[in-house]
Structures are given as C-alpha cells and as structure tokens.
Amino acid sequence: MSAPKQIVIVGLGLIGGSIAKALKQHTGHKVYGIDQDEGALLDACSCGAIDGKAGPQELREADVVYLCVYPQGALAFMEEHGVGLKEGCIVTDTCGVKAHLCTGMERLAAAGRYVFVAGHPMAGKEHSGFAASDPSIFVGASYIIAPCGAPGWAVEVVEGLALDMGFGQIVYTTPQRHDKIIAFTSQVPHVLACAYVLSPRCQEHKGFSAGSYRDVSRVADINDGLWARLFLDNREALTQELDQLIGDLGRFREAIAAGEEEPLRALLRQAGDAKRENG
C-alpha cells in the first residue's frame, strides 16, 4: 500500500462513484468528490464513498484528480482549475475516447504544474449515475493507460491505484490505437444494440427470445448525450468499423439470399475460427 494521498474525484456517476467506493474500500487514501448534483455528493458522503465534498482547498492540495465526466466537461474543468493544482499533482481521466481529449489535455497541461495521464477503466454497466456505482465491476477488468508523455512515476501511481481498486490488468497504448480498437470492442456493440431494437419485430419479441436477444439488446438504452459525444469524438474510427460490420453482414446476407449452403458454412467457419483464436 502506498502512502496516503489526497484524491479528488470530479463527477460521481457510475464510474466516478465506483472509483470512490473502490478507493475507500481498498486503500487508506482520503477521497473527496465534486459533482454539480448535490444529491449525488450527499449520497456519496452518506455511504462513505467519499470523505467529503472537495472545496478549493482540497483541490489545491490534491495529489491525484480523477476526471470522471464527459470529455468536454473534463476539458472545461481543467481549463478552469488546472493552473490552481499543486506541483506534481497527477490528473487522470476515465473518458471512453482518447485522441481528441488528449490533444486538448496536453495543451492545457503545458500551462500548469500538474501532469496528465490518460486512463480508461474497461468496465461499465447499462445503468448510470451514482446509484448504479459498484466497485465490483472493476474486479479483474482491464485498465487502459495512455501515458501521453507523462513521467514514469506519475504513470506508476495511476497504475498502482488501478490495481488497488481491483483491476486485473494494466494495458498501455497510445490514444490513437485506443480509439481504433475501442471503436470495435465497445462503440460498435453500443450502436448495434440501438440499431437492433429499432426493428418492428422488437415489439413482438416477448416469449420468442432468450439469451441472444438479451445479450445484443442489453445496452440499447444508453445516455444519449454522453454516447453521442463519444461516438462523434471518435467519428473516423467508428465510421470505418461500422462500414466493416455492415460489409460483413452483407456477405452473410448475400450467402443466405443465394440459398447455397457451402459458402454460408464457410463464412460461419471463418467466424468460428476468429472467435476461438481471439477469445
């Protein structure tokens, strides 16, 4: 366990709330929260997820700041508060798209005394807000770090805190590679869930559905403001990945429409190989 630090979490939603709870559960650090919603702050205080609301002093003295808000909110917060942070304070974020954010963050960090390390905890669920926060979603999950030029000691602190919180592995990458792969692993499934439930047959699914309907549609009811922003901030990679999927769906569609078994079986075997190889 590292020496006790003063940690400020900006945004006590699903992720920020879960980080607060995980830090209080597994470390001896002091954890303070900032949220526009006084109710979320009160709930977090009441259940012991934070030691209190972070005022100007707690922020000035913070060793680590977690930005758990929308990308534009994270940039706006640093624009306002970055210069007030102390020498060597580590600022890290949890945003789902990195390249756009990191460019802005690196520019802002140049004007302050703090260092910025980009992070992305690969965990979530289909509900949002502090009430949905739950540190168990982190257990065994990946924590992605894009160092963005930060010094090694700062990156190690972010890594250590992630392991303390229960994450199972730390993955290092660049903001650009992150966004390209995340378009496939996370953004496409969310677009897919939303497109899937728009079928008129969705209204008749009850009694005719089992696990596969549930799995594909699980994340169809998401926060439209947050996800629209994440999709648009990763527009290029996501559009490319959607084109890939639409193209591959079209190959299955053509094989099925043609009514010939062997080409269809070949496609299914190719998919089975990919799934077995990549897990």
Q: How far is the CB of 206 from its own copies (least distance, A)?
A: 7
The pair of structure tokens assigned to 155 is: 């990156």
Give the HSE-up count for residue 145: Cα atoms under 13 Å, Cβ half-sphere: 24
With respect to its own copies, which residue has the nearer C-beta, 83 or 258?
258
CA distance 28 to 236: 42
Q: How far is the CB of 95 from its own copies (least distance, A)?
A: 15
Q: How far is the CB of 81 from its own copies (least distance, A)?
A: 26
Q: Are 5 and 118 in contact (CB under 8 A)?
A: no
Q: How far is the CB of 225 from its own copies (least distance, A)?
A: 7
Amino acid identity, position 45: C
Q: What's the Cα-to-Cα distance from 71 to each of 58, 107, 208, 270, rounded to whole Å?
A: 23, 15, 40, 38
With respect to its own copies, which residue has the nearer C-beta, 38 or 224?
224
Q: How far is the CB of 200 from its own copies (least distance, A)?
A: 8
* Residue 200 neighbours by CB under 8 Å, 6+ apart: none
Q: How far is the CB of 118 from its own copies (least distance, A)?
A: 14
Q: What's the Cα-to-Cα distance from 177 to each of 4, 14, 152, 263, rounded to whole Å?
A: 34, 25, 20, 34
Q: What strands lie across the sheet with 52-53, from one edge to the other?
A: 52-53, 30-34, 6-10, 64-67, 90-93, 115-121, 142-146, 169-172
